[in-house]
Amino acid sequence: MGDSAALPRLVMASANPHKVAEIGLVMEGLAHLEPRPVDVPDVVEDGDTLEANARLKAVAVCEATGAAAVADDTGLEVDALGGAPGVHSARYAADGGTGAEGDAAANTARLLGELAGVPAGRRTARFRTVALVRHPDGTEVIATGTVEGHVIEEPAGDGGFGYDPVFVPVEGDGRTFAEMGDDKHAISHRGRAFRELARYLGRS
């Protein structure tokens, strides 16, 4: 896409250091990412879809900064649970009264509890990420990334974040996302969504 001066400049809506680092790796050389200003408060993610939550965050940061903002939302959709936790992934334990919102360990514990007794062949799932750029003129660019896999019975690996220790992607080598390190980015849902987003931005 040429030199760095020609790259699109985007303010990150997320302040999650794990997510910011991962997006930074995926978008390196594709966009110039700026951190969310510390005086921009957290946004209540009460949308009923991943796209709605991403839009809430991007609009808030765009309005606060007057600059194009990028946000994303991710859900783990487990077939045996009717697509849950889905859009509620970050607050799954809180919704169930077993932990605080954003508590990855509690979210994972609830998920594994819900899947107790479900055989391996029926633990299919997918990660889905919606990435969205909101421009000050109100126009948007939206991209989606999905990766299929399954949920294992016990966490494995200490990398990644969220549900990564219990998710094994179909396209991998049997390791969980938490065991894959940077190898994850080539096939991850977030990597796919943000690379697609960068392609759209490059054509605009």
Residues assigned a catalytic role: 73
Buried b (16+ CB within 10 A) or exposed e, 15-53: ebeebbebbeebbeebbebeebeeebeebebebeebbeb
Strand partners, 10: 33
CA–CA distance, 93 with 102 (Å, rounded to integer): 8
C-alpha–C-alpha distance, residues 59 and 143, integer Å: 16
- Kind of pairing between the strands at 9-12 and 32-34: parallel
Question: What span, in angstroms and rounded, lies between the C-alpha atoms of 18 and 8?
Answer: 22
